[in-house]
Structure 1
Amino acid sequence: MDLYDVWSQINLMTVILGLTIFAFLFWLCRRPKNLPPGPYGWPLLGYLPQLAMTKEPIHEALAKLGQRYGNVVSFSVANQLIVVLQDYDVMKEAFAQYQLSGRPTLEISQITLAGHGVLTATGEAWTELRRFSVTTLRGLGVGKSSFEDHITTETKCLIEEFHKSNVKSIDPKHIIENAVSNVICSVMFGRRFEYTDEKFQHLLLILNKMFELVGAGGVVEFVPIFAKMQFLPLVKKIISINLSFDEILCQLLYTRNAQDEPIDEDPRDFAGAFLKEMTDKKKQGLPTYLTPASMHYTFGDLFGAGTETTSTTLRWALLYMIAFPDIQSRVQKELDEAVGRNRLPRLSDKPELPFTQAVLSEIQRMGSIVPLGVPHKCTEDTILRGYTVPKGSLVIANLWNAHMDPVEWTNPEQFNPERFLDDEGRFHRKEKLIPFGIGRRICLGEQLAKMELYIVFTCLLHQFTFKPPEGAPDVSFKALNGITQAPASFELSAVAR
């Protein structure tokens, strides 16, 4: 190699090094002042490489950042600033602010259908969609004792499926999803599906894939740069599964509308109510955010979130019952004393079941089904705990960390329902248990989910004793982490009582 070649290589390396330093300094200098503390990342990529390489669940990795930097942490991911809230008090303070009550856009979903639903809308659109949704769900009986029969009817079908297993080993995931999803279908479309219905099973398969692909906290969907990288295999898969979900939702709506008049004057389900409200406002010439696109997204929001979170919680519940047979026996004893053996439990029995309520609360705390909640977006520059949160920041609540705070929860790694009972054995609801989030954007389906969890859990334990299959390995609490934290596949035996 002659002197010219050597000098050329040195020059090339100098240029590369200079550009790297320039990019780093440019990124450093443009970083807004007074941000919450946090780790520095790579130029352009930010903290993404560190998150991608971590071997632990993202919510645990973020919790460790909280131990180092405090309860408000910030870092960049592909030029998107992310602020992570680590404990209950700061979450309560932050999400009381309207500036931190926005939602980021589902960037990849916009490729297939532009619009927003009640979960992702912001401002006036969210106000109208949420008001309509809350009013309509309440009108359909959701959250009221009148809706109990719908859930109990589906629970009886679930009980029959467990009976069919005839004490043999069974993975409960599929049949629980069937039951929970059918409750949502009765609300959304005014009908239930047989568990053998191919279209219904295809819908559940798509939902599972959607939650697996998006990942913890939905970062892939919410960080704009990923939507511009459609060549990535992950992004391609998300686009494909979104198209499949769009198609089957349209089929369900078409089937529903074919059974009724085009517009129901007295809607019997959420779909009919949405169509009527949207049509009425259009006829009156009133401005509205109730559009075909927002209807589509809202159905997806309610259907997807309502099925995945509740069914996952119930699977954790059964897993904990086979792992702690003494606790299962105590729940059954309480049920037998309060309810008897001649009927199924009802909502009216709830005050007489303090230990059962405590067990459900502890399952929700330990499971932390949506460990990072649904991301918020800062709509205006604001101040939180003395730090600046710039407009456009993503704000993530580490609910898992709040539920594992040793200051609030003594020995948080231990499954201990007693923490929800007072000295006289009465159920004591704790403010810092927030499985449905907190603040202005708290989960829309909270009341429905609570009803389902209580009714399904109590009816199943009233009818069965759940045990590990004969010869099965020790119960594992290994979790599969995506948007939700779900138990790894497991099997059990349902022994009729």
Structure 2
Amino acid sequence: MASLSWFDNLISSVLSRENVVAVVVFLIVTCLVRCYLTRRSFVNIPPGPRPWPVVGNFGGFFVPLAVRRRLGLQAADNVDTNIAQFLWEQTPLYGNVFSLFLGSQLIVVLNGYEAVRDALSNHPEVFSDRPDIPIISIMTKRKGIVFAPFGPLWKKQRKFCHTKLRKFGLGKLSLEPCILQGLATVKTELLQQNKNGGSAGVDLAPLISNAVSNVICSLVLGQRFDHGDHEFRTLLELMDRGLEICMSRPALLINIFPLLYHFPFGVFKELRQVERDITAFLKRIIASHRETLDAENPRDLVDMYLVEILDQKAAGEADSGFTEDYLFYVIGDLFIAGTDTTANSVLWILLYMVLYPEIQDKVQAEIDSVVGTQRVPSLTDKGSLPFTEATIMEVQRMTVVVPLAIPHMASETKEFKGYTIPKGTLVFPNLWSVHRDPAVWENPDTFNPARFLDKEGKLLRKECFIPFGIGRRVCMGEQLAKMELFLMVTNLLQAYKFRLPEGKPRPTLNGRFGLTLAPCPFTVCMTPRR
């Protein structure tokens, strides 16, 4: 563990356990006054439940489950698994557009396809900004691609990254060998684990995460990491843990009382250590690229960004926004976004395959009839595997790995659906609700890949299917993710029959809610198919 910084030491001495109570009381009183004054200023906002003092409507989230049950608050139990589902379940009470408070911060939740599409597609100039959420801002400094405010600098950075990544194959068939290389390693490792007693079940998560992450690492960092690389494996685990902490109860408290981030114990201390370790890893890579940079032959996105910094300085545009500091946050965003969401999507698909073996059989039969057993599936096979594609899409619909998207913010006061959305309001587009909306999906809670096929068995594209978001903040890596999902799923299902270990309980489909919705840990047994 790295030693605490001088500031952490200061906080540690000031916030000794004897002084914590006094500090908390002061913060509560301050928040009570601020909440009272803030809420009085809101007029004609969407309806919603009455907020608790200080913590707002997330008060029940901080009350232990056993206490909530004793108080008869069973409806809030869903918060322990999927907040997005819980918010969707409130629409009969408050409608598809309703208000919540996190402390004194107003949040407007958009439920259902029509409300989400209207806000993000028809009014992108208002609803494309990012809020200043304390826990996110502390760690990202509001820089990068994912969490940076909407504006000229963000547009410039996103356009640069998207353009340069395409030169290295983003969204193109030329990237297929890179993805297949990682898959070959996965299949080799799975075969070995299967020989070494696979009847007990294999945890697929580390292998899938490594393979997915190596694709973005090849594009951004110009290198791959071996599955046995301890530092890289630790980094992926830290990333997963950091995302989990960021959506935990303590993290929500940081958003109400930012000073809690510096508390010298518990998950607050752990979160700071996670941040330090990830920072050290990425900054070592930037330093290595700087020392070996050949401006005429850039190897990856980091090199191209460093070249851009030099070009901007040579042109006398030192304040252009292209700096090594900003590069660090860009890499962090791409690394996390390019790993966590796709890896979880692959794991969800494989989990559904073991829970619905008849669908797995049907997908494998289609792969066998189109691809055969003499070669591995390719992106060129995609159009000939409609049921396989429909199955992937249906799992994405059922799970939605980023169920609340990334929070948006109203950049100006806006009249929307008859209500006033004040400037600075957090806006949660509930993508979970979009994909469970009975207004656009028949029997939305039923797993049915056929809903994405027409009567002739051809793939149906539906505008209400938006797992990657919609509007100007749509996921930049959508095409890459689709390529990875198709190649990984088809290659693994061509090679193996997946099933549950004998005697083990059936895995839950509730998932673990962090910044993304990940499946709960599960193991599978595999039988080679060829």
TM over 0.5: yes
Structure 1 residue 301: Cα displacement:
0.7
In the alignment, the residues of structure 1 paired with residue 522 and residue 257 of structure 2 have an alpha-carbon distance, to the nearest angstrom, of 37
- For residues 205 and 360 of structure 2, the distance between their equivalents in structure 1, rounded to whole angstroms, comes to 19
Alpha-carbon distance in 1 for matches of 2:249, 2:41: 23
1:60 equivalent to 2:85? Answer yes
Please tell me whether residue 238 in structure 1 is matched to residue 271 in structure 2.
yes
Cα shift at 1:250: 1.1
Q: Distance in 2 between matches of 1:95 and 1:438?
A: 6
Contact 1:221–1:227 (CA under 8 A) maintained in structure 2? no
Q: Superposition pairs for residues 212-291 of structure 1, below 5 Å? A: 212-215=244-247, 220=252, 223=255, 225-227=257-259, 230-231=262-263, 233-258=266-291, 260-261=292-293, 263-286=294-317, 287-291=319-323
Match for residue 191 of structure 2 among 139, 163, 167: 163
Which of residues 407, 422, 430 is equivalent to 1:398?
A: 430
Q: Distance in 2 between matches of 1:234 and 1:76?
A: 24
Q: Kindly state the Cα deviation for residue 406 of structure 1 after the two structures are TM-superposed.
A: 1.8
1:46 — aligned with what?
A: 56
Q: Report the equivalent of 2:157.
A: 129
- Whole-angstrom distance in 1 between the partners of 2:35 and 2:127: 30
Shift of the alpha carbon at 1:291? 1.9
CA distance in 2, matches of 1:239, 1:128: 30
Corresponding residue of 2:20: none
> Percent identity of the aligned residues?
39
Query: Are residues 1:203 and 2:235 paired?
Result: yes
State the AA in 2 paired with 1:47.
Answer: N
Give ranges in structure 1 of 5+ residues lacking alignment.
Answer: 1-18
Residue number in structure 2 paired with 1:489: 521
CA distance in structure 1 between the aligned counterparts of 2:137 and 2:131, rounded to whole angstroms:
12
Matched with 1:34 is 44
Q: Which residue of 2 is the match for residue 6 of structure 1?
A: none
CA shift in 2, pair 1:158/1:271, >3 Å: same
Read off the aligned partner of 2:365 and give its amino acid letter: K
2:336 paired with 1:311: no
* Matched residue SS, 1:495: strand
- In structure 2, the partner of 1:438 is 470
Q: Is the 8 A contact 2:47 2:98 kept in 1?
A: yes
Aligned to 1:143: 171
Runs of at least 5 residues in structure 2 that lack an aligned partner in the other structure:
1-28, 64-75
Matched residue SS, 1:165: helix
Conserved? CA contact 1:109–1:221, under 8 Å: no
8 A contact 2:35–2:54 mirrored in 1: no
The question of whether the paired residues in 2 share the 8 Å contact of 1:100 and 1:377 is answered with: yes
The equivalences for 1:398-477 within 5 A come to: 398-477=430-509
C-alpha separation between the residues in 1 aligned to 2:501 and 2:206? 17
The residue type equivalent to 2:281 in the other structure is I
* Residue type of the alignment partner of 1:432: C
> SS in structure 2 opposite 1:95?
helix
The Cα of 1:110 is off from its aligned counterpart by 4.7
Which amino acid letter does the alignment assign opposite residue 144 of structure 1?
A: K
CA distance in 2, matches of 1:91, 1:452: 27
With over 3 angstroms needed to count, the CA separation of the structure-2 counterparts of 1:341 and 1:304, relative to structure 1, is same
The alpha-carbon deviation at position 322 of structure 1 amounts to 0.8
- How far off its partner does 1:51 sit? 3.5
Deviation at 1:144, TM superposition (A): 0.7
User: Could you tell me how far apart the structure 2 residues matched to 1:303 and 1:367 are?
Assistant: 22
Q: Distance in 2 between matches of 1:199 and 1:106?
A: 30
Q: Closer, same or farther in 2 for the Cα pair 1:257/1:193, shift >3 Å?
A: farther
| Aligned partners of 1:115 and 1:294 also within 8 Å | no
2:182 to 140, 150, 154: 154
Distance in 1, matches of 2:39 and 2:220, equals: 50
Partners of 1:171 and 1:178 lie apart in 2 by 13
Residue 118 of structure 1 corresponds to: 145
Counterpart AA for 1:77: L
C-alpha distance in 1, partners of 2:503/2:509?
Answer: 18
Q: Which shifted more, 230-239 or 410-419?
A: 230-239
For 1:271 and 1:229, the matched residues in 2 are separated by: 30
The answer for the alignment partner of 2:127 in structure 1 is 100
- For 1:161, the aligned partner's letter is E
Amino acid at match of 1:270: L
Let me know the Cα RMSD of the aligned residues: 2.3
Q: Which amino acid aligns with 2:334?
A: L
CA distance in 1, matches of 2:261, 2:232: 32
Equivalent in the alignment of 1:362: 394
- Pair 1:80–1:312, CA change in 2 (3 A): same
- Structure 1 residues 198-250: Cα deviation after superposition (integer angstroms, max 9, x where no partner): 22112111111111101179973994643565337443332221122111111
Counterpart in the other structure of 1:387: 419
CA distance in 1, matches of 2:345, 2:250: 19
Q: How many angstroms does 1:473 deviate by?
A: 2.4
Note if 1:84 corresponds to 2:84: no
For the structure 1 residues 393 and 28, does the alpha-carbon distance in structure 2 shift closer, same or farther, using more than 3 Å as the test? closer
Instruction: Write the deviation string for residues 83-122 of structure 1: whole angstroms up to 9, x where unpaired.
Output: 1100111111111321111112353355466450011122
Q: Distance in 1 between matches of 2:466 and 2:259?
A: 31
Check the 8 A contact 1:113/1:293 in 2, yes or no.
Answer: no
Aligned letter for 1:264?
Answer: A
What residue is the counterpart of 1:7 in the other structure?
A: none
Corresponding residue number in structure 1 for 2:206: 174
Aligned 8 A contact 1:117 1:294 in 2: yes
The letter of the residue matching 2:99 is S
Task: After TM superposition, give the deviation of residue 480 of structure 1 in Å.
Answer: 1.1
Summarize deviations over 1:185-204 as a string: whole Å, max 9, x none: 10111110111112211211
| TM-score where L is the length of structure 1 | 0.90
Shifted more, 283-292 versus 26-35: the winner is 26-35
In 1, the alpha carbon distance for the partners of 2:256 and 2:296 equals 41
8 Å contact kept, 1:378–1:390: yes
Counterpart CA distance in 1 for 2:237 and 2:506 is 29
Q: Which residue of 2 is the match for residue 75 of structure 1? A: 100
Q: What is the rounded CA distance, in whole Å, between the counterparts of 1:129 and 1:200 in structure 2? A: 27
